[in-house]
Chains A and B, each alone.
Chain A
Amino acid sequence: MQDDAVFKALADPSRRQLLDRLHEKNGQTLGELCEGLDMTRQAVAKHLAILKAANLLSWKRQGRERLHFINPVPINEIAERWISKFEQPRLSALSKLKKRLEKQDGN
């Protein structure tokens, strides 16, 4: 449904930088997110709106301010779409290894 929006949103380095900053510290205000960035407040607000439209970001009101939160659910969906198939053998390999090692310990 929204894969195109997610990939377009992630294709921009400034938007990835904003997500990195939220990943480092979640729940920041627009003012905090602008600090030390080489972008105008309007440009940052526009990038945040694109991230929100792709559901990569959510915000909640706190008094007069709006706190921004990174939302990794769509990224997780992308990962599971292509990676979960490969993850399954890895998990079962780990559990086999665990069983073998535990068996050896028991001997």
Chain B
Amino acid sequence: MATKNDESTFVYVTFIRTSPERLWSALTDPDFMKQYWFGVHFRTDWKPGARWEMLYSDGRVTDAGEIIEFDPPKRIVLKWHHELRPELKAEGFAYCTIELEPVSDAVKLTITHTMNRAESKLIQAVSGGWPRILSNLKSLLETGQIVLKQ
């Protein structure tokens, strides 16, 4: 069996009718990100090796980590560490890969989130959030409006 039992992964894919450049800026511009990230915002300078932080509006850091790869407009790899809930924090680092690939008049956006442990609670927690974030991002780019405000 090829499935590694000591790994938790999800792979989420959405196709968005836009250009890779527009999608890239939607994924990396902190002001734009606020519109579809459900009340959190990002702080980073997006340089490989730099720290990134995801914050609530009251300043609490919910997740943070390191920019591993930053290759516009194709690929971002983040080292990912949860900071708030003790049981998720205890799990240590996960990796999140964001890939953009042009497909006819759309862009295929793939989010892969992996942690080297079976049944990771962090992976479980983020896998509830990503489909909503991606649906919101898709609507925002295709229609200019978000579906869910909270």
Interface of A toward B, CB cutoff 8 Å: 1-2, 25-29, 31-32, 55, 58-60, 62-65, 67, 69, 71-77, 80-81, 84, 87-88, 91
Contacts and interface: CB of A to CB of B under 8 A. Distances in A.
Chain B binding surface SS class: mixed
B82 interface: no
Nearest to A92: B150
Contacts, number: 68
B148 interface: yes
26 contacts: A2-B15, A25-B3, A26-B9, A27-B3, A27-B7, A27-B9, A29-B1, A58-B11, A58-B12, A58-B13, A62-B2, A63-B2, A64-B2, A69-B9, A69-B10, A69-B11, A72-B12, A73-B13, A73-B130, A73-B131, A73-B134, A75-B131, A80-B139, A84-B148, A87-B148, A88-B149
B138 A77 contact: yes
B2 A65 contact: yes
Contacts of A91: 150
What 8 A-B pairs have minimum CB-CB distances, sorted nearest first? Answer: A65-B2, A76-B131, A69-B11, A80-B147, A58-B13, A73-B14, A58-B11, A73-B131
A32 B3 contact: yes
Given A60-B112, A63-B2, A67-B2, A55 B147 contact: no
